[in-house]
Amino acid sequence: MAAGTVIDGKREAFVVPNSVQKSGDSYTANTTEVIPQKYWNRVVDGNIGLGEAFIYDATNIRLRNLTIGYDLEKKWLKNTPFQRIFVSATANNVWMIHYNLEGIDPEASSATNTNAPGFEILAPPTTRTFTFNVSATF
């Protein structure tokens, strides 16, 4: 049973943390009941708590950058002063294909340049940008 104070809509007097305990030379599933308050006090005990309870898999697959460009044909430029015109469109942060933690971008952390790297503290959403470029040579 996973640790928690409410299970199936009922408040539990005790919880059994999802863990193991040493039994001789091997490990067995933990069956020790713990008062929920004591369990959660230990889990969130400042900087020395059980960090594993708050570590998530940050694996993600994304389409970060997409650029489409086109060189205009020289025949279109015959009666113009241009030798070449290139047009392109770029999009950044196009598509988050797969991620393991709903609503959090693992690369967007509001705790950079601090003594708490890796903490996610309500970081703003990653922005998607679009640019359009025209370059011409005479």
- Record the pTM: 0.55
Closest among 104, 2, 95, 92 to 59, alpha carbons compared: 104
- Dist. CA 38–CA 5, nearest whole Å: 11
- Dist. CA 102–CA 94, nearest whole Å: 17
Over 60: is that where the pLDDT of 128 sits? yes
What's the pLDDT tens digit per position in 75-127?
A: 888 888 999 999 999 999 999 888 887 777 777 765 556 666 666 667 777 88
- Dist. CA 51–CA 44, nearest whole Å: 8
Two tokens at 124?
Answer: 């703003």
Q: What pLDDT is recorded for position 4?
A: 47
